[in-house]
Amino acid sequence: MQEEKINKLGPIMRPLFKNVKSLFKELIQSEVVLSFRKGPAGKPEELSSILWDKAFGCKVSAEGITEDGLFLLMQKDGGIILSGKLLVLPQSNIEELLKRDKIDDESILDAQKEIFNMMVGKLNDILMEKVNKKMHLIMGENFIVNSGDPSFFSSDKEYLSYVANVKIAGPVSFSLAIVMSEELADAILKDLGVEIEEEEMEEMEKEVTVKEEEEEKEEEERPVIKIPEVKREKGEFHVEDIMEEDFPVVQIGTTVWDAFLKMKEYNKDFIILVDGLKFIGLLTMADIRRGLSPFIEEPFKEYCREQDVITKSFKVEWFLEKDVKPVPYESSLEEVLQIYLNQDSPYLPVCKGSRIMGVITHKKLIQFLTELLFDMLRDKLIADSSSKISSDEARAQA
């Protein structure tokens, strides 16, 4: 019976997961591939396979139907990736702060609440559009799920679930689950009033997966240099078009040697200095090397003395000299260029308030301006060609 209900809910779940994919893509500004399948069903103890270690959970009530009819669950890795964008720090830095107890699971859960809130909004939109305009979902408690512990479910209820696998550009992937009580499922199916065979549901799942794989392949085959035609046709500019979002970050109090190693790990010649989540400044490789003795590395290592080794423990903030002005996240292209021309640095940190969002490099800026110039020249050539053809046709008719 539960299997049949899971299949019949297909018309609701398919557009929901499609909307969730769009939400994640918009949130992290990266390609997302999402596929979903039927998950476990039954009493709470039968849902253990989706009770991941220290996952994030959200309880949702359906107004007038049930107070604990819906649960959203997300693996911790996924929560860190998505919450990291709301906390405005690179994922690697979030993980580092977690290890150093500078930020805990509860802090990430605060940002995760907003993600769950957006997901509930997407589900609510689907229900109101396809089922019943009066059906309204209300987000409740957010919590951390401990592996194998189903205590947040009602022990006297049975549930059905769907599990989605989310892949983000690169090797990053995580799972999320939507768990629904039979009570809520029955209420939805009563208003939905449709029959869907199991084979059709499987075909729908295959169709979604194939489509996403095709989109991912198309994205991989695109050239490295891309022209954001839609935005430029509308005359719009967005700072994220030209900023890098994967860059090294260190906290105040970090040693210059650790900062040096992190820059080499990222293959960057700059590093961002923060205090908690607040942007403090930007240091270049030249700044870092100024704090390190040249005798700690080859070819001078054989001459290294105790006082040279001590330089490794110097604090990175001691060598922060340049006052690099951040670019506000909402800046226009003219404002970005003005800031770039008025300061002696090939790197421009981008901040939303006091939080670092990205870094605009000299290379990225020149590439963007080159593409923009190419766009303008191409449009001019097309316009000139059209004008010449029109003139020739007019002379021929005369």
Asked if residue 387 belongs to a domain, the reply is no
Asked if residue 85 belongs to a domain, the reply is yes
Question: Rg of the Cα trace of the chain?
Answer: 27
pLDDT of residue 177: 95
CB 198 within 8 A of CB 3: yes
CATH (domain of 336): 3.10.580.10
Share of the chain above pLDDT 70, in %: 77
Domain hosting residue 334, numbered range = 233-370
pLDDT digits (tens, 9 = 90+) for 226-251: 333 333 344 467 888 888 888 899 88
Share of the chain above pLDDT 90, in %: 21
pLDDT value at 34 more than 70 = yes
245-264: buried (b, 16+ CB within 10 Å) or exposed (e) per residue?
eebbbbbeebbbbebbebbe
pLDDT band at 222 (very low <50, low <70, confident <90, very high): very low
179 and 305: one domain?
no
pLDDT of residue 9: 83
137 and 251: one domain?
no
pLDDT of residue 233: 42
Q: Classify 304 as helix, strand or coil.
A: coil
Which residues, at least 6 apart from 269, have a Cβ–Cβ distance to it below 8 Å? 263, 284, 285
217 and 272: one domain?
no
173 and 128: one domain?
yes
255 and 336: one domain?
yes
Range with the poorest average pLDDT among 49-63, 248-262, 376-390: 376-390
pLDDT of residue 231: 37
205 and 242: one domain?
no
The larger pLDDT score, comparing residue 32 to residue 207, is at 32
Alpha-carbon gap, residue 81 to 175, rounded angstroms: 12
Number of domains present in the structure of the chain: 2
CATH (domain of 165): 3.40.1550.10
169 and 257: one domain?
no
Q: Name the domain boundary from 221, 253, 272.
A: 221
pLDDT value at 86 more than 60 = yes
152 and 191: one domain?
yes
263 and 167: one domain?
no
Alpha helices (H) along the chain: 2-8, 10-28, 76-86, 91-99, 105-130, 182-192, 198-221, 229-233, 256-266, 285-291, 306-310, 333-341, 362-397
